């Protein structure tokens, strides 16, 4: 029995020791298993501006204890930490990407940035990246279209699309009659800030070409948009001085053409008692002498101007003006409302065109013309100056009709004319012998 005890007992003790040792090592292995930690990565930095940028990051592993806070930290010095500038985005329960916009940065500055993730008291950082914000410069502005153009005004604007990194303190449009206008020329002040704006251009001259640009000013300087040119509406009426004799004429724009509002009065000589189809002749109604000064002193000259045969009429208009063609007379008539078909006919055409063209009823003989409601409604100011008939060289029909030459020949001896009669509200188109003396209206070249 003792022998058995001596054999079994040591074996039992040995086995127990071995089991205890095994359990100890197994426990030790379990206790010192490595702990999962948070892993974070700094992503790309994009959309870098004067005072902001977009930052990206990723949580690769939330660790054993999770992520209680994450975001970005940055500084002008290397190795930024949470003690520097930071943007916190809150807890995160899973892996994945995250991003945000960092603001209130300084222009033209170097920054160092890291993504971070915090697990309770432990903070984990991604790799450090760096970027440089844009430097402050002049703003970027574009010019928008010109509209609402009149004789003396227009509207034009622009859009400030980039402030250059500094506050826009002034913006508007500037203009001039020469290219590349600046704020040293005429300009508007249309507020501050970025975005769209509209300016009113005033004090413009009629019929003038202007150049306009939008502008924007920040603390660095002023920049300009692209240049646009435009023409103001031409004047509708005015005064012209004939340098040959210093005679002043009123004129009016009617459609596309500019017409004298009165009969031509240029009188280089008086051709009393003669007619011709080839040589220029000049007449003043009821004046039979040859003295130009005396002829100009008559009431008929002052009211109705001069009567010209066709050779004189062709060359009588001052420089820059001309005798209207038959087509230009048609343009005037159609501007006043005559149909194109009627304009091409002969005889009296146009229901009330003659009435519209005439003025001063007390000068016209009493008849349908002056009693028409449309009488005097245009600015043509046709008067009944009569004409000189080449037959017997007689002045005829003053007070009852007016007659005007066209430069367009019907044939060798005749040319187209227009006439208005006191007893008809239309305008007559026909041809007449070139030796007759008719009034002249000039059209600007």
Domains assigned to the chain: 38-132 (2.60.40.10), 140-231 (2.60.40.10), 237-444 (no CATH)
Q: Does residue 198 surpass a pLDDT of 70?
A: yes
pLDDT of residue 14: 59
Residues 143 and 228: beta-carbon distance below 8 Å: yes
Strands (E) in 346-413, as ranges, are: 347-349, 387-389, 394-396, 401-409
Average confidence score pLDDT of the chain: 94
pLDDT of residue 347: 98
User: The tokens of 336 are what?
Assistant: 């006043």
Question: Cβ of 162: how many Cβ atoms within 10 Å?
Answer: 18
Predicted confidence band of residue 289 (pLDDT cuts 50, 70, 90): very high
Which residues are CB-contacts of 387 (< 8 A; sequence separation ≥ 6)?
A: 307, 395, 396, 397, 401, 403, 436, 437, 438, 439
Question: Cβ of 40: how many Cβ atoms within 10 Å?
Answer: 26
pLDDT of residue 19: 55
DSSP letters, 61-91, are EETTT-BSEEEEEEESSSS--TTSEEEE---
Span 338-375, pLDDT tens digits: 999 999 999 999 999 999 999 999 999 999 999 999 99
pLDDT of residue 35: 76
**Closest by Cα among 122, 2, 91, 101 to 56:** 101
Please compute the mean of the pLDDT values over residues 300-315 and round it to a whole number: 98
On the 0-12 / 13-18 / 19+ scale of CB atoms within 10 A, 375 is buried
Which residues are CB-contacts of 316 (< 8 A; sequence separation ≥ 6)?
A: 264, 266, 280, 306, 308, 323, 440, 442
Please compute the mean of the pLDDT values over residues 270-282 and round it to a whole number: 97
Q: Does residue 224 surpass a pLDDT of 60?
A: yes
pLDDT of residue 22: 52
Question: Cβ of 319: how many Cβ atoms within 10 Å?
Answer: 9
pLDDT of residue 361: 95
Vertex 376 angle, CA 370 and 382, to 5°: 85
Residue 358: what are its φ and ψ, rounded to 5°? -90, 160
Of the listed ranges 162-166, 332-336, 411-415, the least confidently predicted one is 162-166
Q: Positive or negative, the Cα torsion across 202, 205, 207, 213?
A: negative
User: The tokens of 343 are what?
Assistant: 């304009």
Span 31-78, pLDDT tens digits: 445 678 999 999 999 999 989 999 999 999 999 999 999 999 999 999
Calculate the alpha carbon distances from 414 to 173, 214, 273, 429, 430 in Å: 58, 59, 21, 13, 10
User: The tokens of 147 are what?
Assistant: 């509209």
Instruction: Give kind and range of the element (H or E) at residue 371.
Output: helix 368-371
Residues 203 and 214: beta-carbon distance below 8 Å: no
Please compute the mean of the pLDDT values over residues 409-424 and round it to a whole number: 98
Long-range contacts of 78-86 (CB under 8 A, 24+ apart): 78/112, 78/128, 79/112, 79/114, 79/128, 80/112, 80/113, 80/114, 80/128, 81/123, 81/125, 82/116, 82/118, 82/123, 86/116
Residues 398 and 342: beta-carbon distance below 8 Å: no
Question: Cβ of 317: how many Cβ atoms within 10 Å?
Answer: 22
* Pairing verdict, β 69-75 and 85-88: antiparallel
CA–CA separation, 280 and 38 (whole Å): 110
Please compute the mean of the pLDDT values over residues 196-221 and round it to a whole number: 97
User: The tokens of 68 are what?
Assistant: 């209680």
Predicted confidence band of residue 4 (pLDDT cuts 50, 70, 90): very low
Look-up: residue for tokens 């003989």? Answer: 365
Please compute the mean of the pLDDT values over residues 192-210 and round it to a whole number: 97
What residues pair up with 260 in beta bridges, in sequence order? 251
* Pairing verdict, β 154-162 and 140-143: antiparallel
What residues pair up with 62 in beta bridges, in sequence order? 38
């Amino acid at each position: 029995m003792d022998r058995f005890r001596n054999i079994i007992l040591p074996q039992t003790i040995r086995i127990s020791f071995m089991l205890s040792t095994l359990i100890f090592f197994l426990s030790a292995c379990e206790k010192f298993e490595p702990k999962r930690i948070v892993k974070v990565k700094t992503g790309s930095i994009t959309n870098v501006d004067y005072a902001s940028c977009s930052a990206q990051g990723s949580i690769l592993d939330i660790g054993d204890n999770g992520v209680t806070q994450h975001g970005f930290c940055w500084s002008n010095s290397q190795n930024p930490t949470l003690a520097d500038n930071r943007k916190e985005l809150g807890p995160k329960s899973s892996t994945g990407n995250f991003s945000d916009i960092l603001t209130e940065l300084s222009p033209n500055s170097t920054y160092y940035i890291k993504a971070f993730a915090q697990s309770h008291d432990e903070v984990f950082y991604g790799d450090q990246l760096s970027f440089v914000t844009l430097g402050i410069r002049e703003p970027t502005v574009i010019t928008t279209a010109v509209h609402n153009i009149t004789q003396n005004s227009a509207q034009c604007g622009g859009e400030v699309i980039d402030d250059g990194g500094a506050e826009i303190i002034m913006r508007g449009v500037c203009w001039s009659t020469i290219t590349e206008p600046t704020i040293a020329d005429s300009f508007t002040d249309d507020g501050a800030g970025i975005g769209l704006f509209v300016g009113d251009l005033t004090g413009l001259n009629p019929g003038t070409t202007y150049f306009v640009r939008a502008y924007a000013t920040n603390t660095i300087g002023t920049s300009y948009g692209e240049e646009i040119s435009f023409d103001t509406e031409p004047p509708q009426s005015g005064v012209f001085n004939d340098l040959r004799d210093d005679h002043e004429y009123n004129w009016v724009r009617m459609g596309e053409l500019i017409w004298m509002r009165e009969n031509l009065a240029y009188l280089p000589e008086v051709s009393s008692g003669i007619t011709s189809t080839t040589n220029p002749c000049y007449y003043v109604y009821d004046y039979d002498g040859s003295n130009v000064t005396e002829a100009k002193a008559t009431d008929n000259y002052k009211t109705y101007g001069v009567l010209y045969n066709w050779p004189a009429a062709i060359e009588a208009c001052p420089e820059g003006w001309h005798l209207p063609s038959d087509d230009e007379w048609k343009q005037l008539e159609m501007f006043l409302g005559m149909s194109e078909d009627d304009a091409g006919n002969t005889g009296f055409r146009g229901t009330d065109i003659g009435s519209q063209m005439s003025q001063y009823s007390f000068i016209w003989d009493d008849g349908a013309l002056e009693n028409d409601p449309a009488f005097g409604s245009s600015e043509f100011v046709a008067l009944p100056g009569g004409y000189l008939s080449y037959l017997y060289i007689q002045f005829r029909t003053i007070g009852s009709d007016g007659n005007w030459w066209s430069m367009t020949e019907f044939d060798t001896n005749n040319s187209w004319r227009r006439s208005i009669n006191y007893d008809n509200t239309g305008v007559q188109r026909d041809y007449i012998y070139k030796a007759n003396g008719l009034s002249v209206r000039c059209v600007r070249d």
